[in-house]
Amino acid sequence: MRRMSQITPSLLPFMKMHGLGNDFVVFDARSDDLDLPERVVRAIAHRQKGIGFDQLAVITKGIGDAHLTFYNADGSTSAACGNATRCIARYLMTQTGTKALHLTTDRGDLYALDAGNGLTSVNMGQPQLAWDEIPLAHQMDTLALPIEGAPVATGMGNPHCTFFVEDVAAVDLATFGALHEHHPLYPQRTNVQVAQIIGTDHIRMRVWERGVGVTLASGSSSCATAVAAARLGLTERAVRIDLDGGTLHVDWREDGVWMTGETMHVADGTLTADFIASCS
């Protein structure tokens, strides 16, 4: 396993990608595993002194086509990141010429498909609906948490707290999200969504990601919101979700929650020796 002190710039290329403005730094480490301490992840995440990202992802060899590991901007890990999974799936499909992939994550096995017209679909698996799977601090009704606004709790490999509101634009998301991320009902913290029902197949949503803050989009949050809305009978199981950065289509099927949308591979680069040294 390579450690930062052993790395030269030519040996550590990175990619910058985004899904609807939800942006990522991605390392392809399939040829040699990469050790990234929290301090290094935080340094790369800094938008003025580093590269900047909402999440960082590392691609390694897996039992399928690849294994994905995700980090938040604060250096913590996350078992799931839907938009990063779609971006990496598109990269791997372009590289190999295949139209279907089997990916593994700490969330479990995920399957990706080329949906045509430049769109990429990922099956994020079945949602976690029981209080201890999400997880919550103790047993309770996950459809109506004892929090003002009666939000819905959902697990998508990471915990989510979804508030349905009349007008998402009226919510001070920076304050609201920071307050609820650390709510004592969520021992692992939580992603926070505010969602507005436009129609039975249409949702407007904004998101605060744990360990990151306000983001333009979030794939797992979109899946969690679609599941929550369907469970409450507010929408059908297939919905369009409009986020600050664009639109995702989510379909909760028998085999899992499928998410489809655009991706962008923005640039490739390498970290410099001076930057690597500054992280030690």
pLDDT in tens, the chain (280 residues): 455 445 444 457 999 999 999 999 999 999 877 888 899 999 999 999 999 999 999 999 988 999 999 999 999 999 889 999 999 999 999 999 999 999 999 888 999 999 999 999 999 999 999 999 999 999 999 999 999 999 999 999 999 999 999 999 999 999 999 999 999 999 999 999 999 999 999 999 999 999 999 999 999 999 999 999 999 999 999 999 999 999 999 999 999 999 999 999 999 999 988 888 888 7
- pTM, two decimal places: 0.91
The whole-number pLDDT of residue 91 equals 97
The whole-number pLDDT of residue 3 equals 53
> What are the DSSP E strand ranges found in 124-201?
152-155, 159-164, 191-199
- Where does the chain have alpha helices with state H? 38-45, 82-96, 173-181, 219-231, 273-278
Q: Where are the domains of the chain?
A: 4-124+263-278, 152-254
The whole-number pLDDT of residue 6 equals 53
Q: Is the dihedral of CA 245, 251, 252, 256 positive or negative?
A: negative
The whole-number pLDDT of residue 35 equals 81
Domains 4-124+263-278 and 152-254 share a fold: yes
Q: What count of Cα atoms within 13 Å lies in the side-chain half-sphere of residue 230?
A: 21
The whole-number pLDDT of residue 119 equals 97
The whole-number pLDDT of residue 158 equals 94
> Which two three-digit tokens encode residue 126?
């079945």
The whole-number pLDDT of residue 15 equals 97
**CATH of the structural domain 152-254, one choice from 1.10.3470.10, 3.40.50.150, 3.30.450.20, 3.10.310.10:** 3.10.310.10
The whole-number pLDDT of residue 58 equals 96
CATH superfamily of 4-124+263-278: Diaminopimelate Epimerase; Chain A, domain 1 (3.10.310.10)
The whole-number pLDDT of residue 5 equals 44
